[in-house]
Amino acid sequence: MTIAQIQDEIRALKKERDICVLAHVYQAREIIEVADFTGDSYAVSVSAQKTANSRVVMCGVRFMAETVKLLSPEKTVYLANQEAGCPMADQLNAARLKAAAEKYPGHAVVCYMNTTAEIKAMSEVCVTSSSAVKIIRAMEEHDILFVPDCNLGAYIAKQIPEKTIRLINGGCPIHAAVGAGDVAAARRAHPGALLLVHPECVPDVVTAADYVGSSSGIYDYAVKSDSREFLIGTETSIAEHLQYACPDKRFYYLDKKMMCHNMKATTLMDLYHCCAGDGGEEITMPPELIASAGKCIDRMIELGG
Ligand code: 13P
Ligand code: SF4
């Protein structure tokens, strides 16, 4: 079968089995083409609430499918490829968070969306890269313990100097792998290009950037910009999608090691099998966990809009 034929089968299965397909912007182009909603981790996770479909398939990583389930517990939610986890989310367990909270008593725990439902259940509010500054600024609490990404946390703390923001060690191994030396080499190779980076990058890289934003923030900025050349400092798929969207502009990887194998794990055939009912994994959680972890997602929407 060709890619186009598989995509047609998926479209037919979506209708037949009342399925809504969500795809994070780091997914492959052939998956994004058959998705009902595409966006950064915030937009893609909340979008399932807007649809009447009884089944939702997430093409992304596990914490995104879990977030969809927390927001829409009445829907049947699937992760298209059960192997697609997030190494950052796996870094933090309940015991480690408990120890950090004991070290900083009286601090409101704010978790990044890239965490397990168990961590969300222990947090006051959840944030994403596109909503973190707005939400933490809007919180009444002055003292914040932000987990687990210390690079995103350092970026937030710089934007909100009036609050005390404590951090722990943790972060995205893909974004954190790039340093100031890689930026210098990329700038030398493409002196006219604007540098657009994700706040999961280390502070030296973030400080050197012309724009800092979420995965879809970077995409939108590059599409609207009058500049012609860009160094893309986030997962490699964003540069690929941009090259199709803007053929008259040039997009370069900040560094080709910024490739997330978990985000790339889901294939079009995984999506096909999940839609056909013989693949993927249904996300289930005990009702008590849905209730307690759901509260911090509800607060994210309340404060983040
Ligand atoms: P955003 O889509 O919120 O920018 O998150 C990036 C990411 O690393 C998701 O795994
Ligand atoms: Fe996790 Fe980083 Fe991959 Fe996103 S890019 S899924 S944060 S490892």
Which ligand 2 atom lies nearest to the CA of residue 172?
A: 2
* CB of 196 sitting under 6 A from ligand 1: no
How many A from CA of 146 to the centre of ligand 2? Answer: 17
Residue 89, phi then psi, degrees to nearest 5: -60, -35
- Pair (15, 66) in one structural domain: yes
Please name the residues in contact with 131: beta carbons below 8 A apart, sequence gap of 6 or more: 42, 300, 304
Which ligand 1 atom lies nearest to the CA of residue 86?
A: 10
How many A from CA of 193 to the centre of ligand 1? Answer: 23
The total of other beta-carbon atoms located within 10 Å of residue 72's CB is: 21
Task: Assess contact for 183 and 204: CB atoms under 8 A.
Answer: yes
- Pair (242, 212) in one structural domain: yes
pLDDT of residue 305: 77
* Token reading at 239: 């540069």
Distance CA 143, CA 215 (A): 28
- Pair (73, 101) in one structural domain: no
- Pair (69, 144) in one structural domain: no
* CB of 119 sitting under 6 A from ligand 1: no
- Pair (33, 70) in one structural domain: yes
pLDDT of residue 45: 86
3-state SS, residue 286:
coil
Measured CA distances, 161 to 137, 149, 289 (Å): 10, 18, 34
pLDDT of residue 304: 87
- Pair (24, 34) in one structural domain: yes
Task: Assess contact for 104 and 89: CB atoms under 8 A.
Answer: no
State the residue range of the domain holding 232. 175-258
* CB of 260 sitting under 6 A from ligand 2: yes
Which ligand 2 atom lies nearest to the CA of residue 114?
A: 7
* CB of 61 sitting under 6 A from ligand 2: yes
* CB of 186 sitting under 6 A from ligand 2: no
Please name the residues in contact with 252: beta carbons below 8 A apart, sequence gap of 6 or more: 186, 189, 190, 193, 229, 230, 231, 232, 239
Distance CA 99, CA 105 (A): 10
* CB of 172 sitting under 6 A from ligand 1: yes
Lookup result for tokens 């977030």: 67
pLDDT of residue 21: 98
- Pair (97, 126) in one structural domain: yes
Strands (E) across the chain are located at: 19-24, 37-39, 55-59, 76-79, 108-112, 125-127, 143-147, 164-167, 194-197, 211-212, 229-233, 250-253, 281-282
- Pair (238, 297) in one structural domain: no
> Which H helix or E strand runs over 198?
none
The total of other beta-carbon atoms located within 10 Å of residue 185's CB is: 12
With the most atoms of ligand 2 within 8 angstroms of its CB, the residue from 59, 232, 262, 266 to mutate is 262
- Pair (215, 273) in one structural domain: no
Ligand closest to Cα of 88 equals 2
Distance CA 95, CA 73 (A): 26
- Pair (92, 228) in one structural domain: no
Which ligand 2 atom lies nearest to the CA of residue 174?
A: 2
Residues in the chain with pLDDT values less than 70: none
Distance CA 235, CA 216 (A): 11
- Pair (108, 140) in one structural domain: yes
CATH number, position 186: 3.40.50.10800
Helices 287-304 and 62-71, interaxial angle, to 10°? 90
Domain count for the chain: 3
